[in-house]
Structure 1
Amino acid sequence: MRSSRRSAVPASTTARSNGARSLWLAGLVAVLASLLMLSVTVGTREVAWADITAALFGKVDDIGQAAVAVRVPRTVLALLAGAALGLAGAIMQGVTRNPLADPGILGVNMGASLAVVIGVAWFDIASAEAYIWVAVLGAGCSAVFVYTIGSLGRGGATPLKLALAGAATSVAFSSMVIAVVLPRADIAGGIRSWQIGGVGGATFERILPVLPFLAVGFAISLLSARKLNSLALGDEMAAGLGERVAVARAVAALGAILLCGATTAICGPIGFLGLVVPHLCRLLVGVDHRWLLPFSAIAGACLLLAADVVGRVLARPAELDVGIVTALIGAPFFIWIVRRQRVREL
């Protein structure tokens, strides 16, 4: 009797927990739907609902409809990029067991940026596919480099050592980007604008080549949820459960690298989103990656859409790129985590 009562308690607790998570998920999806509508309707030009409806059905007969037609691919790109960066941040924090892990802080985004800049300046790459492949390669090399540097010395790859290695690598790669661009006045303006990070000027022709990379990255990342739960128990415990630790970590990292590289290629480096989103989602759903990863993807899309809308409203009639808005949000959050959290491991 006692054993059956004990077994029933965890089951009921799990049911209540999953019910609460489902409610949070429904609320987050509702927020996402609202932000999608705001992103299409809000901008530097006021448009009527009739123009919005007409533009969504493909009409561009006047300026209002043309404005909405431009916002639609921008909204789609913000949705995809935000989901990719939010999910990549959760994956990186799970793989490294580092609460400070983020595609920007660990130097992954800047590695992708440096690779793209070198490709443009030295090899004259121009196609969207070339941009994406080069960015993914740069992101992967940067991730391996930072992890190797952070693993040196006593204690292996501790969260603090990884954060310091990533920060130093980001600064070094940023300086190298400037060194590569300075002699090339013909590409300097475009590179500087791209480096800020933004979704302005998006078109479906630019988005289509990146979709296969994002699809593979999303699939690999979401399928890694159970393995990340095992890794969270520690390498020895995960190995005792039959998990191949190195393979699990490498596969999950590959998903994050694909997401970061593809997003950076089309949007430029957007920082701090991958840091903020997973922490907020853990407050809602806990540390179970089966819930945390999809929540991080949806919340990342919400945050980037909101940042894009805020950037349009604050700087009217001009715009603030989302990279600036996310930095304004993320930098204080990063300082708070460093000061208030135990940054040893997750």
Structure 2
Amino acid sequence: MLSVQERRSAPAGDRPPRRRRPAGRQALGAGAALTVLLAVLALVSLLVGSGSSSPGRAWDYLLGDPSARADPQLRLAVLQVRFPRTLAAVLVGLCLGTAGCLLQAATRNPLAETGLLGVNSGAAFAVVLGLTFFGADSSAELLGWALLGGIAASAVVLLLAASGRTAGSPLRLVLVGSALGATFHGLTSYVLLGTQATFDTYRYWTLGSLAGVGTGELAPLLLPVALGLGTALACARPLSALGLGDDGARTLGHHPQRIRLLVAGAVALLGGCAVAVAGPVAFLGLLAPYAARAVTGPRMTAQLLLSALVAADVLILADILARVLVRPWETPVSVLLAFVGGPLLIGIARSRRLSTAGATA
């Protein structure tokens, strides 16, 4: 065996190769670390807020201190304000991270996210319709309209993309989604021109925020989110085959068109629920899969799980910062994500690994 000094002085070609940590163990370790981090951030989210309730008093409440439990203001802050938005941050992060990873893999497009299927623009148009013509004024009503619009827009994209010779192809999905998104955006702007009151409410919703979310509003979304996540895991193996190209996937017994349409359906559920809760949150579904692929490589199941955890961690951290940066007011969480996501996206675009990242998706 070579001594340490001999190894340093030996030519590069004569050095023994470094032993790399197995990728599976590396992904498992990263997943465990992200899960622990998520639990810690969830606890911090329950302790910290923009109001007057201190973290110490919130900690006493969580530990069951009688004087803290008797404080109605503290109970309101912890149980009715902070707990629902903590749950919402986890839920939205899981949805956006999983949806972004699915889309990037199915379309082999490293810049794909939920807006690619018209989810964001469809939800925005539905919210404007609800505000203008149906008198929607509560957060629960806006959530329902946004969910309905996001899923309906995705359904239209799927119907249009499933027809013709190139049914279900990545290019067709992208083109149809972009065209429909632009159409909805134009219709939204047209309706907003004559309704100032609607524009004021819509402007707040479209910034993207987790403030004002209640536990009762999240409960109906648990089933579609579970269905979307289950479909995503079921698509992991077919998507891995799809990474070999359509011909390679067919050789292994898979149907590329069916896989993409199934993925698009899962993305419609996940993206629709996420946009309904938090509004159009930018960059998160785009960047989380990159972080996951840096650890997992081309393994789709690990990519999906890590992408979901990364997005949940980032979103809950951004929501905590949104509460404390400009107290007693709050910063929209999408603004903070844009400040971080913009430079990161530029860095990714300048990176030599861009084409590799897209290929391994």
Segments of 5+ residues of structure 1 without an aligned counterpart are 1-12
Alignment of 1:136 with 2:151, yes or no, is: yes
- Corresponding position of 2:294: 283
Determine the structure 1 residue equivalent to 2:12.
none
Aligned partners of 1:196, 1:127: CA distance in 2, in Å?
14
Asked if the contact 2:123/2:147 (under 8 Å) is kept, the reply is: no
Greater shift in the superposed pair: 61-70 or 120-129: 120-129
The equivalent residue for 2:22 is 16
Q: Superposition pairs for residues 58-207 of structure 1, below 5 Å?
A: 59=69, 61-69=71-79, 70-104=81-115, 107-124=118-135, 126=141, 129=144, 131-142=146-157, 157=170, 162=174, 173-207=184-218
Partner Cα distance (2:94, 2:340) in 1? 17
Is 1:315 the counterpart of 2:326? The answer is yes
Among candidates 201, 208, 211, match of residue 222 of structure 2: 211
3-state secondary structure, aligned to 2:49: coil
Do the aligned residues in 1 keep the contact of 2:289 with 2:307 (CA within 8 Å)? yes
1:285 Cα offset (Å): 1.2
- The one-character-per-residue Cα deviations of 1:277-316 (angstroms, maximum 9, x if unpaired) are 0001111111211100011111111010011112122222
Query: How far apart are residue 131 of structure 1 and its match?
Result: 4.3
In structure 2, relative to structure 1, the CA distance for the partners of 1:272 and 1:165 (3 Å cut) is farther
**Deviation by residue 1:248-273 (Cα, 9 ceiling, x = unmatched):** 11111211111001211222111110
Q: Compared with structure 1, are the counterparts of its residues 284 and 63 closer, same or farther at alpha carbon in structure 2 (3 Å cutoff)?
A: same
2:61 corresponds to: 54
After superposition, the C-alpha distances for 1:181-228 in whole angstroms (9 at most, x for unaligned) are 232233322211111111101111111122221111111112111111
Structure 1 residue 247: Cα displacement: 0.8
Which residue does 2:355 correspond to in 1? 342
Aligned to 1:8: none
**Whole-Å Cα distance in 2 between the matches of residues 32 and 41 of structure 1?**
14
Which of 224, 234, 253 lines up with 2:245 in the alignment?
234
Pairwise CA distance, 1:114: 1.8
CA RMSD of aligned residues (A): 3.1
Asked whether the 8 Å contact 2:323–2:331 carries over to 1, the reply is yes
- Give the paired residue count: 328
**What does residue 36 of structure 1 align with?**
42
Conservation of the 8 A alpha-carbon contact between 1:108 and 1:140: no
Structure 2 counterpart SS, 1:280: helix
Aligned: 1:333 with 2:335: no
TM-score (norm 1): 0.83
Partners in 1 of 2:292 and 2:357 — Cα distance? 20
Deviation at 1:171, TM superposition (A): 5.6
The alpha-carbon deviation at position 276 of structure 1 amounts to: 0.7
Pair 186,312 (structure 1): closer, same or farther in 2 beyond 3 Å: same
CA contact (8 A) 2:119 2:149 kept: no
Q: Do residues 27 (structure 1) and 33 (structure 2) align?
A: yes
Shift of 1:15: 9.1
Superimposed CA distance per residue, residues 114-164 of structure 1 (whole angstroms, 9 cap, x where no aligned partner): 23323443455648545423331124435776999xx89xxx7559x94x9
* CA displacement 1:50-76 (0-9 Å, x = unmatched): 433426869462433322221110100
Aligned to 2:11: none
The alignment's TM-score, normalised by the length of structure 2, stands at 0.80
Greater mean deviation of Cα atoms: 78-87 or 132-141: 132-141
Q: Distance in 2 between matches of 1:168 and 1:43?
A: 41
Matching residue's letter, 2:252: L
Distance 1:147 1:94, change over 3 A: farther
Using the TM superposition, name which of 47-56 and 276-285 deviates more: 47-56
d(CA) in 2 for partners of 1:253, 1:186: 34
Greater Cα radius of gyration, structure 1 or 2: 2
State, as a whole percentage, how many aligned pairs show the same letter: 31
* CA distance 1:333–1:107, shift in 2 (3 Å): farther
CA contact 2:101–2:285 (8 Å) conserved in 1: yes
Tell me if structure 1 keeps the 8 A contact 2:209–2:278.
yes
